[in-house]
Structure 1
Amino acid sequence: FERWWNKFDLKSKLTYARDRLIECYLWGAAFNFEPQYSYVRTIVAKNTQMVSIMDDTYDNYATLKEAQLLTDVLERYGV
């Protein structure tokens, strides 16, 4: 799992993004703790980490108009 994250090398490319890899994994483990769900935990952690980076980008770099457009898209999508 950590190799997947290090392959992206986002720590150096997106210095503003929080490194929440372990936290994201533990979120998946909280709901899918049985051994047979190890793949699910990994997928949940990967998706949560990527959403976290999107959130950090949104918070740090979006203009008010861009933020409103993204918010509108997400609301229409039903997320």
Structure 2
Amino acid sequence: HAVPIVHRDLKPRNVMVRPDGTVTVLDLGVASVLDTDTTRLTHTGSPIGSPAYMAPEQAMGGAVGPYTDLYALGVLLHELLSGDVPF
């Protein structure tokens, strides 16, 4: 998160590995910019994203931040290794 943006919909379909091995995150359509203290987003309310990859607080419409993208990355890696999402 060098750039203060939270993706909010990280899932296998939105991650591409280029031929040189570089990983690129796609589809920033629902991404949000972090507020100045970078601990939460300025918008809360309706959950946005893919339910299987959402952190619990995101699914309940709470504030999201880098930690919710990290949760989604963990789900994505679990799926990569096991072939299925954990929940």
Shorter-chain TM-score range: 0.3 to 0.5
Q: Name the larger-Rg structure.
A: 1
What is the TM-score normalised by the length of structure 1?
0.34
More strand by share: 2
What is the TM-score normalised by the length of structure 2?
0.32
More helix by share: 1
